[in-house]
A and B are shown apart, each in its own frame.
Chain A
Amino acid sequence: MNSTRWQVDFVQPSKELLTISMSGHWCAADNLPSPELLVEKLHRFPNLKKIAYHTENIAHWDSGLLSFIVMLNKICRQNSLDVSTDGLSKNMQSLLTLASAVPERENTKSAPTQSTLASLGHHTKQLYFEFEKMMEFIGAITISLSILCRGKVKFLGRDLFYFIQDCSVTSLPIVLIISFLMGLILAFIGAIQLQAFGAGIYVANLVAIGMSREMSPLMIAIIMTGRTGASYAAQLGSMQVNEEIDALKTTVISPIDFLVLPRIIALVLMIPLLCLYGDLVGILGGMLISNTFLHISASAYIHQTTSSISMVDVLVGVVKSLCFGLLVAIAGCYQGLNCGRSSDAVGSATTKAVVTGILYVIIADAIFEIILNILKI
């Protein structure tokens, strides 16, 4: 192994010329020397003006050798040393000629780092632009909706049907599991506390009101953000990457009319139904716990539930989920349409759709609570 390892010898035919004689294996994997180290050794030769190579004894070489020579040449020239590449083999020379055929482009490196204040300003400006763009997007959706209300349908009925199916029937299994478990968890939490006061039956109130007013709309909105919102962003994002959105624009078909509207309508129409379904399944989950742990009969539980829950509670949940559905769909479509033009951008658009979707839903929920509290509903 050692006999074939890379080796460098210096031969000095004259005072001004130094030949770097290379032999052995010169491959990238052979732990090659650093060019800087070699240049340091050149300082041992005063009055040196020119460097030449001798490479006939090299057994094997690859790009490792070439990048070593390129670096060495560069450093030598910086130290005002002349370099002759005549001693390199023909193949090496032709590759080196190719590498230096197009001069290195200047000003392509990243901009110098900004001061904290400048970057704060930059981010604030960016945030403002983002807000402005979002408002424009919402404005465009409003215009499209008003056109739709005048009876001009500009999307395919087939698309709408597909999206309705996607956010209703195909979402049922996940909604079933999550809502059932939510009812179950609520009942467990309530059971421990209420049993201490001998008020176990009130678990039914807790589950019914908790699910219908709060948990069901919120959990379903979060499920739909991860499921539908993310898929909207990914679909529209990859359409952006494939220039499909551009093709719509140049055909003078508005992407908002054609792509965004059916998605928003489907989600807004279907999410309240999912919410009602979630209410029901959650109550059943609560009933299971009450029955097994608190020994409350099913009929007593149902009676307690129907007497505690009012239409207003259910409606509050439905209205909330309508609003959440709109926000989730807007977040997904907005991120998709504003996606960059690489596959990486589609990934980040999807992530952003989920993060902003959940954020909008939570903020909207908080606002709802404040308003409902003021209105005493």
Chain B
Amino acid sequence: MTMNVMPIEQPPIQVKHLDMAYGGTIVQKDINFSVQKSEILVIMGDSGCGKSTLMRHMVGLKKPVAGDIFYNNEPFWSGGITQRENRMRHFGVMYQSGALWSSMTLAENISLPLQEYTTLTAKQIKEVAAFKLSLVGLAGYEDFYPAEISGGMCKRAGIARAIALDPEIIFFDEPSAGLDPISSKRLDDLILALRDGLGATIIVVTHELASIFTIADNAIFLDSERKTLIANAPPKELLKHSTDAKIQRFLTRGAEGVIQP
């Protein structure tokens, strides 16, 4: 007689007891949260609280002082470099400034990961690169160098590069900061479309309230004073039910008298 035991599905991303530090100074400690598949998680917090630092730990740029991040139940940092690099191939990362490789055109920027990790022909790569650029509203800019386009366009091209390989997990570091409202709205739509269309899990570091309420399924809030995670819930619920004065002030742009500390 056989018994079918349904496996209990674990969230694909779990951050457990993570401590982060810069040169001996603890930035955040004991951070715990998990992200479900195809969820959009927003990392919020005041300036300098370590949002981007948390992202740097999650994408493999900075080793945590303690704790670990688990992707599909595999430890990310304590699992060895080969395992980590294999995992990183399924990430797409968009940096605050775009971080395009300045010696390459936009099309070449997007093509590089495709050349490295796919068996596509040069023609196919060119087509994919053009399509990804059109997704971020940069169709026709294939042969421009990063220095020839504006900061906002660099940012969007950075997103096109991040999604070049249709990654499972996409990280966005302050994607809408410095963008005009229309580009910002377009970006929110793109993030939602990437999730709905490709089933990607998306982690966004941002403090744009409009964006947070539009895209986030779930959010975490890092506090620079208490140096830890102080909330983990959908932002709309946080706005309604959180009793923490700081979170209320953050989500209401500092409106006084909502809830007193």
A-side residues, CB < 8 A to B, are 159, 239, 242-244, 246-253
Q: Which of B46-62 contact A (CB under 8 A)?
A: 56, 59-61
Q: Choose the segment among B94-102, B123-131, B137-145 that binds chain A (4+ C-beta atoms closer than 8 Å).
A: B94-102
Q: Is the CB–CB distance between A244 and B116 below 8 Å?
A: no
A315 to B: closest C-beta gap in Å: 36
Q: A246 to chain B: which residues have CB within 8 Å?
A: 56, 61, 93, 95, 99
Q: Would A244 and B100 count as touching, CB distance under 8 A?
A: yes
Nearest first, the 8 closest Cβ-Cβ pairs linking A and B are A243-B99, A247-B99, A250-B93, A243-B95, A252-B85, A250-B59, A252-B88, A251-B113
A253 / chain B contacts, CB cutoff of 8 Å: 112-113, 116
Question: Cβ of B102: which chain A residues have Cβ within 8 Å of it?
Answer: 239, 242, 244
Contact residues in B for A242 (Cβ distance below 8 Å) = 97, 99, 102
Residues of B within 8 A of A251 (CB): 93, 112-113, 116
Residues of B at the A interface (CB closer than 8 Å) are 56, 59-61, 85, 88-89, 91, 93, 95-97, 99-103, 112-113, 116, 158, 161
Report Cα–Cα, A242/B112, bound state, in Å. Answer: 18
Residue of A243, A249, A252 near B97 (CB, 8 A) is A243
Q: Which residue of A lies closest to B165 (CB)?
A: A251
Q: In the complex, how many residue pairs between chain A and chain B have their CB atoms under 8 Å apart?
A: 46
Q: How far is the CA of A249 from the CA of B101 in the complex (A)?
A: 12
A249 nearest in chain B by CB position = B61
Supplied contacts A247-B161, A251-B116, 13 more A-B pairs, CB within 8 Å? A159-B103, A239-B102, A243-B99, A244-B100, A244-B101, A246-B56, A246-B93, A247-B100, A250-B61, A250-B93, A251-B93, A253-B112, A253-B116
B89 A247 Cβ-Cβ under 8 A = no
Give the nearest-CB partner of B96 in chain A. A243
A–B pairs, 23, beta carbons within 8 Å = A239-B101, A239-B102, A242-B97, A242-B102, A243-B96, A243-B99, A244-B100, A244-B101, A246-B56, A246-B61, A246-B95, A246-B99, A247-B100, A247-B101, A247-B161, A249-B61, A250-B61, A250-B88, A250-B91, A251-B112, A251-B113, A251-B116, A252-B85
Nearest-CB distance from A143 to chain B (Å)?
12
